[in-house]
Amino acid sequence: MIKRAILFGGKAIVSILDTTSTVKEAIKIHGFSKPVAVAMGKALTVAAFMSAGFKGVGNKLTLIIDGDGEGGKMVICGDFGAKVRGYIQNPKACEGRQASVSDVVGKNGSLNVIKDFGLKEPYNGLSQIVNGNIDEDFAYYFTTSEQLPSAVALGVKMQGGECVKAGGIVVQPMPNCSEEEIFILQDIVSNFTDVASLLSEKSVEEIMEFYFGHFEISHLPDIYEEYKCSCSRHRIEEMLLTLGKKEALEIIESQGQIQVGCEFCNTKYVFTKDDVQRMFK
């Protein structure tokens, strides 16, 4: 669940996310190592937060975290309603040893945010990786690229290879937020050093009420995020049509079939010669 509220009569927005089921599904699909599961869990939580704010059904989000860490490039996508998915180049990075999120992500590189609202050109925001912890990296991105100073606290609690709890808390003061109100928010945010453990002890509703319920607060509708891939056989067929019939049949002749795999959900789509003939007919 993603629970959101407006504070101080519209001067700040707080979002509290429990993304445990989404992170569990990602681990099940990709078989992440423990350090990668924590890194990807944080990234998926950020994508859920950002796509939860979309107003249009066709709005789309792509996050590309391209650092010099052992995990390689991370790609996370989000659709309207906080439907997210993602993959990393090396899902088994740092396996079998103690490693931090920055070991997976790297401490040097770029963070690219692409938002497609169906306009002529998508929004494209770029910032540098600060320390590879993802929390601070996206706090820096929101501040520098979207001019929206933000406190971002993310957490993934693992037990063995299983995700016990995952989620995050994001607090964003608006430009009209007073210095006194910002100071109050900063004081509250200082409590969120271990978000995953906090979510293990309290529900998102309880956290919202305990830390923010005593302010002037207006609750926004809850959103139920999930790990959901948008691939389909029909989409792959459309992609193959762009190859042209001649090239598609040449692949069939050399390999016996065309096999296309989705990096987000590991689904494999197989096309035979009869399938290709039907598609181009």
Residue 61 reports pLDDT greater than 90: yes
Tell whether 21 and 104 lie within a shared domain: yes
Quote the pLDDT of residue 227: 95
Quote the pLDDT of residue 126: 93
**What residues make up the domain containing 208?**
2-227
Tell whether 52 and 114 lie within a shared domain: yes
Tell whether 191 and 241 lie within a shared domain: no
Tell whether 31 and 69 lie within a shared domain: yes
Quote the pLDDT of residue 104: 97
Q: Which residue has the higher pLDDT, 197 or 243?
A: 197
Tell whether 272 and 163 lie within a shared domain: no
**Residue 271: pLDDT band with limits 50, 70, 90:** very high
Tell whether 143 and 217 lie within a shared domain: yes
Q: Are strands 123-128 and 109-116 parallel, antiparallel or unpaired?
A: antiparallel
Quote the pLDDT of residue 109: 96
Tell whether 127 and 242 lie within a shared domain: no
Mean pLDDT across the chain, nearest whole number? 93
Residue 118 reports pLDDT greater than 90: no
Phi–psi pair at 214, nearest 5 degrees: -85, -5
Tell whether 56 and 188 lie within a shared domain: yes
**Residue 132: pLDDT band with limits 50, 70, 90:** very high
Percent of the chain with pLDDT over 70: 100
**Residue 281: pLDDT band with limits 50, 70, 90:** confident
Q: How far apart are CA 226 and CA 95, in angstroms?
A: 26
Residue 120 reports pLDDT greater than 90: no
Assigned token pair, 246: 């001649």
What's the average model confidence in pLDDT over 29-40? Answer: 96
What's the average model confidence in pLDDT over 83-109? Answer: 95
Q: How far apart are CA 242 and CA 2, in angstroms?
A: 39
**Residue 196: pLDDT band with limits 50, 70, 90:** very high
Tell whether 40 and 140 lie within a shared domain: yes
Residue 154 reports pLDDT greater than 90: yes
Assigned token pair, 133: 């912890």
Residue 119 reports pLDDT greater than 90: no
pTM to 2 decimals? 0.92
> Helices in the chain by DSSP H: which ranges?
20-30, 34-52, 101-105, 135-145, 179-189, 195-201, 204-212, 233-241, 245-255, 273-280
Tell whether 247 and 222 lie within a shared domain: no
Residue 160 reports pLDDT greater than 90: no
Last residue of one domain, picked from the residues 227, 248, 264? 227
Residue 177 reports pLDDT greater than 90: no
Phi–psi pair at 150, nearest 5 degrees: -140, 145
**Residue 39: pLDDT band with limits 50, 70, 90:** very high
Residue 267's CATH number:
3.90.1280.10
Number of domains in the chain: 2
**Residue 67: pLDDT band with limits 50, 70, 90:** very high
